[in-house]
A = this chain, B = another copy of it.
């Protein structure tokens, strides 16, 4: 390396983890545009929640370093090339997915302030402000915490240890890819931004998937990597939409309607492969039973909690009841997947419906078993909308381990949405 390059590289005060506002999930931008249009005046609080309390984030990660990383993110703004890519690209076959008024706002955006406080061995990290602004904190905040934790563990490792660590991790990912390559008709995308080991690692994984799976690899949820590696940006919508819409509801009747209002707004904006139902926020079965008929016309359903096979059966039954042919529909599995489960689900459902997979944490952060004490194993960190216009949000999901919200509100939501006993499933990632 020449002296000038080395001097330049060593000028960095920090090694920034997130270096772009589009180093985020594609669906965040889709939802952001929807919120920007439909709920521009909603105040929302996002909060970090470490479900894996055995990982003492505040002991592992220096508060000053965390602040430097978050401050760096606040210094970012959309670059010209990023803006051009968002404006000029085709997403899901559609040009001008992002409207000019949204793009203009996005080009001027800097992320709003954060609130950070150490509480024992954990950090309290919250973001409060306009929904469409604070929602863009979720992914970078998670990515920063995940990568700072990786760095904390890696910091005591030597040069050769590191080379072997990454050699092993690469081997592990590659062996998974080789298994997936054997599955005929597989359709799989990277959904691993939020809980990735590191940015560079996700970037490597995406390239490995691209080379190893060819056409079976449909793209990545990460916009920046999609742009750099010239692959598709993948994603639709997430729980935060029904959670916030529901929190805003003024009556039980309005609450019962809220999850459908979300999809009604979405219906107006998107078609085809972007019309994917995420039914589990307040229980899949009840949601589908009460769904208006136009929802049955949507392209597919994403299964993100509970027993995935059971969820897919429920979806298929529902389509059949509504006179739709499941063979024309798509089921997207995206909850804590690994290769064996992908193979099983594909074998079970691919002849009955279109199946695809959003592979997240166990693609981009499977460092299980690679260091002593499993200190690099992925863990369950989320960043969720916890309040909207001062009211708490609630999530029930199809797994009570993933439920969120005050107990009284959870009880009310269970009543309104007719959710009874649920089967518990361990949350790995």
Which A residues contact B (CB, under 8 angstroms)?
Answer: 2-8, 10-11, 15, 151, 154-155, 159, 162-163, 165-167, 198, 200-201, 204
User: In the complex the two chains form, is B8's CB within 8 Å of A162's CB?
Assistant: yes
Closest-by-CB residue of B relative to A160 is B4
Copies in the complex: 2
A166 and B201 in contact (CB under 8 A), knowing A154-B7, A155-B11, A159-B8?
A: no
| Complex CA distance for A3 and B15, rounded to whole angstroms | 14
User: In the complex the two chains form, is A4's CB within 8 Å of B166's CB?
Assistant: yes
Among A4, A155, A198, max chain B CB count under 10 A is at A4
User: In the complex the two chains form, is A3's CB within 8 Å of B201's CB?
Assistant: yes
Which residues of the partner chain B approach A166 to less than 8 Å between Cβ atoms?
A: 2-4, 7
Q: List 18 A-B contacts (CB under 8 A).
A: A2-B163, A2-B166, A3-B166, A3-B198, A3-B200, A3-B201, A4-B162, A4-B163, A4-B166, A4-B167, A5-B159, A5-B163, A6-B200, A7-B154, A8-B159, A8-B162, A10-B15, A11-B154
Selected from B3, B163, B165, B200, the residue in CB contact (under 8 A) with A204 is B3
| Complex CA distance for A2 and B166, rounded to whole angstroms | 9
| Complex CA distance for A159 and B151, rounded to whole angstroms | 27
User: In the complex the two chains form, is B7's CB within 8 Å of A162's CB?
Assistant: yes
Cβ of A199 to closest chain B Cβ, rounded Å: 10
| Complex CA distance for A200 and B9, rounded to whole angstroms | 14
Cβ of A11 to closest chain B Cβ, rounded Å: 6
Which residues of the partner chain B approach A204 to less than 8 Å between Cβ atoms?
A: 3
Which residues of the partner chain B approach A15 to less than 8 Å between Cβ atoms?
A: 10
Closest-by-CB residue of B relative to A150 is B7
Closest-by-CB residue of B relative to A204 is B3
The 4 closest A-B pairs by CB, nearest first: A4-B163, A4-B162, A4-B166, A10-B15
| Complex CA distance for A348 and B155, rounded to whole angstroms | 59
Cβ of A157 to closest chain B Cβ, rounded Å: 8
Which residues of the partner chain B approach A6 to less than 8 Å between Cβ atoms?
A: 200
Which residues of the partner chain B approach A198 to less than 8 Å between Cβ atoms?
A: 3, 7
Which residues of the partner chain B approach A5 to less than 8 Å between Cβ atoms?
A: 159, 163
Which residues of the partner chain B approach A151 to less than 8 Å between Cβ atoms?
A: 11
Which residues of the partner chain B approach A7 to less than 8 Å between Cβ atoms?
A: 154, 162, 166, 198, 200
| Complex CA distance for A4 and B7, rounded to whole angstroms | 20
Which residues of the partner chain B approach A167 to less than 8 Å between Cβ atoms?
A: 4
Which residues of the partner chain B approach A155 to less than 8 Å between Cβ atoms?
A: 11
Cβ of A352 to closest chain B Cβ, rounded Å: 40
Cβ of A203 to closest chain B Cβ, rounded Å: 9
Interface contacts beyond A7-B166, A11-B155: sample of 8 additional A-B pairs, CB < 8 Å, sorted by A: A2-B163, A3-B166, A3-B200, A4-B166, A4-B167, A7-B162, A8-B162, A11-B154
Which residues of the partner chain B approach A200 to less than 8 Å between Cβ atoms?
A: 3, 6-7
| Complex CA distance for A3 and B166, rounded to whole angstroms | 7
Which residues of the partner chain B approach A162 to less than 8 Å between Cβ atoms?
A: 4, 7-8
| Complex CA distance for A162 and B10, rounded to whole angstroms | 12
| Complex CA distance for A138 and B215, rounded to whole angstroms | 64
Which residues of the partner chain B approach A159 to less than 8 Å between Cβ atoms?
A: 4-5, 8
Which residues of the partner chain B approach A201 to less than 8 Å between Cβ atoms?
A: 3
Which residues of the partner chain B approach A3 to less than 8 Å between Cβ atoms?
A: 166, 198, 200-201, 204
| Complex CA distance for A162 and B11, rounded to whole angstroms | 11
